[in-house]
A and B are shown apart, each in its own frame.
Chain A
């Protein structure tokens, strides 16, 4: 079965704090992609990162960084020096070719509130 778990429903931090959003996935496929999306109050999903199952290199993009560990089936997202504009719901998603489709399985999302 394919599954994505985001155990943190809501996180509140004070501006400039670092925050890590957890994502744990389950799949039996050997080839898959993992994604992170940001959903601000407007509702539009903003793509943040894509990672394939064969690339375990961590990635840093400005204040954002991602830690992909196949051994623990986790793909965690860290925001360094958080800002109020980071307040949003963040979704982790898994995509595989099970059943010949490229469906996304979304986690339940983590609502991040950054307080000034």
Chain B
């Protein structure tokens, strides 16, 4: 099992460009999450999903959109990137409430 995978691993964008980050998990988990990690801020939840076809806002959703068309995939989109979105993005998944979250390796995004 690959666990949780993320593509791409690195990306540099110019302000105003758009992109999509892909998260995939092969553990048949219902719940999936997108976090951003910034120095001194810990991890902050952007959006999450409790099942295929569902999404919900987390702590810092502005400027991001998500989709969960397939159970195994969770996409994070930036429609118009801003320098404030420079961060490391982590995807995670879990089986259910209170269960361990399994994390992907992260995507390092720089917006110039």
A and B from one complex: no
Residues of A at the B interface (CB closer than 8 Å) are none
Residues of B at the A interface (CB closer than 8 Å) are none
